[in-house]
Amino acid sequence: MCVYDKKSLKAEEFINDEEIKATLKYADENKDNTELIDKIIEKAKLRKGLDHREASVLLACENEDRLKEIYALAEQIKKDFYGDRIVMFAPLYLSNYCVNGCVYCPYHAKNKHICRKKLTQEEVKNEVIALQDMGHKRLAIESGEDPVNNPIEYILDCIKTIYSIKHKNGAIRRVNVNIAATTVENYRRLKEAGIGTYILFQETYNKESYELLHPTGPKHNYAYHTEAMDRAMQGGIDDVGIGVLFGLELYRYELAGILMHAEHLEAVHGVGPHTISVPRIKRADDIDPDTFDNGIDDETFAKIVAIIRIAVPYTGMIISTRESKSVREKVLRLGVSQISGGSRTSVGGYVEPEPEQDNSAQFDVSDQRSLDEVVKWLMELGYIPSFCTACYREGRTGDRFMTLCKNGQIQNCCHPNALMTLKEYLMDYADEDTKAVGDKLIEQELEKIPNEKVRKIAAEHIADIAENNKRDFRF
Ligand code: SAM
C-alpha cells in the first residue's frame, strides 16, 4: 500500500489516491461548516496560501456569502501580487507527429486523416518572423511526442533558430517549452538552450483514468509523466508549469491533485510551480468534447481559478485562446496573470492560415481576435498588457523569483518593465487606435511608480523608445 508523503519522489506517494479521496470526503463533510470555512478564509487572507485540504473545502462550499468573500479575496490577491499587468504570449506548434494514443487529442497516433506537419528550420524562421511582426516576445513551443520525427535535437535546433532571429525591432526573448516528459539529461540540454519555463500538463492526476485516457505510447506511463517535473528540476530547470485538462476527470479530484503537486515541488525542491494552466477540452479534428463526462461549466471554472489564486498566490496562472473573450474577462479578474493572443494551433499557421482540408490544428480556438485586438481590449478593461521577459533574463528564476514574489518585491520592477515593453509594442506593432489608448495608459501609469528615481528612469527609457528607436530596457 502507498502512503501519502509529499516529500517522496514516487508519483503514487506524493499524488496519493487515498489522500485525495480522504480530502474529498473531508471537504464534503465540511462544506457547510461555516466556522471552519471562515477560518480557512482568514488563513487565506494572510496571503501565504492554503493546502489541498483547505482549498478542497472551499471548492465544496456552496454558501453564497462565503463564495462572494472567496471571489473578493481572489481579486484582491490578484491585484496585490500582479497589479494590473497581464503577461502576453503565443504558442508555436512545431510538429504534430505523435506516437501516443491520448484519447482527447487529435494528434493521437491512430488519427490517419489529420494532416501531419513538422516545421523545417526555414519554416520555424518564417513563423517566428510572423510572430515578431505581431509583437510577440514570449513563445510557448508545442510538439507531439515522436522520438523519430521530433527528437530532442530537433527541439533544440528550433529553440536556437527562434532565439537567433532579429527581424526589424523584433526578438523572441523567452521560449517556454511544452513537450512530452523526458529524461534528466534532456532537461539539462533544454536548460542549456536557454528555455524559460518547462510546461507539462498532467492531464489528470487520477492514475486509473490517466491510464485509460493514455492507452498507448510512452505517455501511458503515469509515474514517468507525473515525476517529470522532479527530473526537470534535477536537470536544472527551476521554472516549471503544471496544469490539468479539465473535463477528463472530476474537477475536485484535479484541484486536490494539482495543489498536492505544488506542495510536493515546494517540499522537495524549495520552489513551487512557476505557473498553473487551466485548459478545458475543446473540439478538434476527431475529438468531440461532449463524449467526456466531466466537463465543467463557466461558473465552476471561475470558482476553480479563484481558489487556485488564493491557494498559491505566488504562482502565475495561464489561460489560452481555448476560452472565449467573456470567460477570459471573468477569470482575468479572479486570478489569471498570463494570456495568449492571436494564437494559431496549427503547424505553420502564423505564416498563412491553413486551408480547411489541411487541418493540422490541435484544437479549435475560441478567442479568434488578433493580438492587437486583445491588447486594446485588455487596456480598455484597465489592464496593462506586458511583454516583459526581464526576470528570466536577469536570472530571477526558481527560488530567487519566488522569494522576491513572496516578499511582494517583484512589483517594484514589474510595473515599469510592463510599461516599457508595452511602449515598444505600441511603437512597432499597434494600430493607431490601440496606440492612442496605450499612450494615455502609460502616461497615467508612470505616475503610479512610487519610487521617484525609478519613475524618472522609466520615463526616460520610454522617451528613448519613442524618440531614439531604442529597445530592450529593463529593471
Ligand atoms: N505532447 C506534449 C505532451 O504530451 O505533454 C505536449 C502537449 S500538447 C501540444 C499541449 C496540451 O494540449 C496537452 O498537454 C493537452 O492538455 C492539451 N490538449 C490536447 N488535446 C486537447 C483538446 N482537444 N482540447 C484542449 N486541449 C487539448
Q: Whose CA is nearest to atom 25 of ligand 1?
A: 281
* Ligand 1 pocket test, candidate residues 201, 294, 344, 345, most atoms within 8 A of CB: 201
What is the share, in percent, of the chain residues with pLDDT greater than 70?
Answer: 99
d(CA 137, CA 310): 29
Read off the pLDDT of each residue in 186-191 and give the average, rounded to a whole number: 98
218, 100 contact by CB (below 8 A):
yes
Same-domain check for residues 437 and 326: no
- What's the CATH code of the domain at 176? 3.20.20.70
Query: 332-382, pLDDT tens digit by residue?
Result: 999 999 999 999 999 999 998 777 777 778 888 899 999 999 999 999 999
Interval between CA 105 and ligand 1 midpoint (Å): 6
Please give the Cα distance from 186 to 182 (Å, whole number). 6
- Number of Cβ within 10 Å of residue 261's Cβ equals 26
In this structure, the answer to whether residues 86 and 69 fall within a common structural domain is no
pLDDT for 409? 64
Q: Residue whose CA is closest, atom 16 of ligand 1?
A: 245
Domain end, chosen from 368, 383, 418, is at 368
Neighbours of 223 (CB within 10 A): 12
**For residue 408, what pLDDT is reported?**
62
Residue finishing a domain among 63, 79, 95: 79
What type of residue sits at position 172? I
Is 50 within the bounds of a domain? yes
Residue 383 counted as domain residue: no
Residue 58 sits in the same domain as residue 201: no
Q: Indicate whether 231 and 102 sit together in one domain.
A: yes
Please indicate, yes or no, if residue 1 is contained in any of the structural domains: no
Of the listed ranges 201-205, 271-275, 357-361, 466-470, the least confidently predicted one is: 357-361
Over 70: is that where the pLDDT of 411 sits?
no
Looking at the fold, whether 115 and 238 belong to one and the same domain comes out as yes
The answer to whether 462 touches 423, Cβ cutoff 8 Å, is yes
CB 205 within 8 A of CB 261: yes
Q: Are residues 126 and 228 in the same domain?
A: yes
Predicted local confidence at residue 364, as pLDDT: 82
Task: Tell me, yes or no, whether 473 lies in a domain.
Answer: no
How big is the chain by its Cα radius of gyration, in Å?
Answer: 22
The residue whose CA is least distant from atom 21 of ligand 1 is 105
Residue 347 phi, psi (nearest 5): -80, 115
Verify that 325 and 432 share a domain, yes or no.
no
93 in any annotated domain: yes
Q: Please check whether residue 384 lies inside any domain of the structure.
A: no
**Residue among 270, 124, 273, 97 at smallest CA distance from 180:** 97
Q: Quote the CA–CA distance of 222 and 212 in Å, as a whole number.
A: 11
Pick the atom of ligand 1 nearest to 142's CA: 9
pLDDT in tens, 76-121: 999 999 999 999 999 999 999 999 999 999 999 999 989 999 999 9
- The pLDDT tens digits for 14-60 are 999 999 999 999 999 999 999 999 999 999 999 999 999 999 999 99
At what angle are helices 152-164 and 184-192 packed, to 10 degrees?
Answer: 10
Q: Are residues 306 and 449 in the same domain?
A: no
User: Cβ distance 59 to 83 under 8 Å?
Assistant: no
Q: How many structural domains compose the chain?
A: 3
Grid cell of 6 as nine digits = 509529499
Q: Which helix (H) or strand (E) holds 234?
A: helix 228-234
Please report the atom of ligand 1 found closest to the CA of residue 322. Answer: 25
- Are 236 and 103 members of one domain? yes
Would you say 205 and 159 are in contact if contact means Cβ atoms under 8 Å apart? no
Which structural domain, as residue segments, surrounds residue 58? Answer: 11-79
Alpha-carbon span 434 to 418, nearest angstrom: 16
Residues 139 and 246 in one domain: yes
Are residues 94 and 73 both part of a single domain? Answer: no
* Final residue of a structural domain among 342, 368, 394: 368
376 and 366 Cβ atoms separated by less than 8 Å = no
Q: Is residue 392 part of a domain?
A: no
- 17 and 109 assigned to the same domain: no
Distance, CA 429 to ligand 1 centroid (Å)?
Answer: 30
Ligand 1 centroid to residue 91 C-alpha, Å? 12
* Span from the CA of 167 to the centroid of ligand 1 (angstroms): 30
Quick one: which atom of ligand 1 is closest to the CA of 203? 16
Averaged pLDDT for residues 254-266: 98
Report the SS3 class of residue 301: helix
CA nearest ligand 1 atom 18, residue: 105
Residue 130 lies in a domain: yes
- Kindly give the distance from the C-alpha atom of residue 107 to the centroid of ligand 1, in angstroms, as a whole number: 9
Pocket of ligand 1 (CB under 6 A): 104-105, 142, 144-145, 178-180, 200-201, 203, 219, 245, 279, 281-282, 284, 287, 322, 362-363
Atom 5, ligand 1: residue with shortest CA distance = 180
